[in-house]
Structure 1
Amino acid sequence: MEQKIIGRKEKITLPELGLNLVWAKIDTGAYTSSLHAEEIREEELEGKKVLKFQILMPKHQKFTGKTLVFEKYREKKVKNSFGQAEIRFLIETKIQLAGETFRTEFTLTDRSSMKNSILLGRKILRGKFLVDVSKTNLGKTYRKKK
């Protein structure tokens, strides 16, 4: 597969989460991708453990307040941006980036104090994309024209 060139920030779609063409920062220093989430909690629903959370994206008010429910999830130990180990919940969902659609993993964390709500790490990029850090939104050139 030919590797596509993307910039340091890209517009992505997470269709299963109801997010369409939102900005994500490409972070080659991070292994795992992360997504801003709030009110992250495990609950029992019809006898099954589920993960519930909200994603409140800045400048994406139409989605504010919707609670998402995932039956398939797990916990993962990650190092945060300060180098401290922490346990985060991890979900798998579809992503559309630069004309490609594939499943990938995101850890959930409160990124409200950070500039970027979504980070895409090396695990997503490996074998699929090259990053040109001098540009942004190069992925639009690969999206299908309607």
Structure 2
Amino acid sequence: MITIGRKDKVDLPEFDLIGIDAKIDTGAYGSALHCHHTIIEKENGEEILSFQILDPDHPEYEDKVFRTKHFDRKTVKSSNGDMEERFTIQTEIFLFGEKQEIEFSLTDRRKMKNPILLGRTFLSGKYLVDVQLKNLSHKKRKTTL
């Protein structure tokens, strides 16, 4: 297994996002991605999920609207313990030099320090968390580029 710290920087190639801060959280079951303006639109009888990633004050924010018909809805327990329905998407994440599949629930994380949370479902069997460390993937990437 690969050692990962309490925080790291990840890339989301599908959304052209590079070096985005992620919190590693073994207390969270799933992974979450900060989104806003999340709405369902109908197009030719199909539901299309439309959303924006990051906040306008984030340095990587580009005011892009992303659209997908490949989404689901799940009931998840939020950080404050409430059950809520969220949209989920599958995408690729680039971490430690590898692209991997990940499922994100889309939620408003603007009050959180990190726009991405990586939970146990993603971490399990692949990563050992050392809470004294951070940005291990990002540091390794700089030395190998």
- Structure 1 length normalisation: TM-score? 0.91
Stretches of structure 2 lacking an aligned partner (at least 5 in a row): none
Q: Within 2, Cα distance between the matches of 1:142 and 1:126?
A: 21
Q: Within 1, Cα distance between the matches of 2:139 and 2:100?
A: 18
Paired residue for 2:118?
120
Instruction: Look up the equivalent residue of 1:145 and give its one-letter code.
Output: T
Q: Within 1, Cα distance between the matches of 2:54 and 2:102?
A: 20
1:11-30 CA distance string (max 9 Å, x none): 10000012111110001100
1:45 is matched with which residue: 43, 46, 58?
Answer: 43
Secondary structure of the equivalent of 2:21? Answer: strand
1:73 is matched with which residue: 71, 74, 98?
Answer: 71
Stretches of structure 1 lacking an aligned partner (at least 5 in a row): none
More displaced stretch, 39-48 vs 65-74? 39-48
Q: Within 1, Cα distance between the matches of 2:91 and 2:122?
A: 12
Identity percentage of aligned residues: 46
1:79-118 CA distance string (max 9 Å, x none): 0011010000000000011122111100001111122211
Contact 2:10 2:138 in 1 (8 A): no
1:43-89 CA distance string (max 9 Å, x none): 0123321100001245324x331100011000011000110100000
Secondary structure of the equivalent of 1:74? Answer: strand
Instruction: Look up the equivalent residue of 1:60 and give its one-letter code.
Output: P
Aligned pairs, number = 143
